[in-house]
Amino acid sequence: MPKKKKFYVEETETINDCLERMGAEGYMPVRRMEEPVLKEVKRGGKMEVEVSHQRIVFEGKLMD
C-alpha cells in the first residue's frame, strides 16, 4: 500500500464518513485541503471559467 493517499469527501457523505473510511483503510489524516471545482459558463458569446464549489480533500498517512 502507498504510504500517502488522498481521500475526497464525496457529495453524499459527511466529513466524518470520509474520516471513518480512511481509518477503515488504515490511514490517519495529516492534512485537510480544499480544491476548487471549475465549470465553464457562456457569457456574452464567450466561454468563461468560474468556480462551481469547493471540494474537501484529506491527505492520509499509513498508520503503523
End-to-end CA distance of the chain: 12
Residue 32: what pLDDT? Answer: 97
Residue 1: what pLDDT? Answer: 72
Element containing residue 55 per DSSP (H, E): strand 46-62
Per the listing, cell 493517499 goes with 5
Q: What is the mean pLDDT of residues 30-37?
A: 96
d(CA 6, CA 62): 11
Residue 5: what pLDDT? Answer: 96
DSSP label at residue 64: -
The residue type at 11:
E
Q: What is the pTM of this model?
A: 0.80
pLDDT digits (tens, 9 = 90+) for 44-62: 899 999 999 999 999 999 9
